[in-house]
Amino acid sequence: MLRGLLTLGVLLAGALVALAVASAILLPVLGLLTALLVGAIKLAFFLAVIYFIVKLISPDTADRALDKIRSKIRRAA
């Protein structure tokens, strides 16, 4: 019985150490991914605002610019 409890204690301690190591590795990675996602959302919002301002001023210019961007993306992909 005591041996079983000792084995269980060792397994729990090992699990805690593994969890600590995994969180130490994953937290910076998840923080970086979150920062990249927030940056992409901010960039998309900024570009959308610029597009709608240009669209209000000159609809033809905005459509041509959007077509150029789409063609560059297609070539890159």
What is the spatial distance between Cα 17 and Cα 11, in angstroms, rounded to a whole number? Answer: 10
What is the spatial distance between Cα 30 and Cα 49, in angstroms, rounded to a whole number? Answer: 29
Q: Look up the pTM and report it.
A: 0.53
Instruction: Encode the chain (77 residues) as per-residue pLDDT tens digits.
Output: 767 778 888 888 888 898 888 888 888 888 899 999 999 999 999 988 888 888 788 777 777 888 888 888 888 87
Sheet strands (E) in 33-73: none
Give the number of domains in the chain: 1
Please give the pLDDT value at position 46.
92
Q: Give the range of the structural domain holding residue 24, as residue numbers without chain letter.
A: 2-76
Burial of 51 (0-12, 13-18, 19+ CB in 10 A): middle
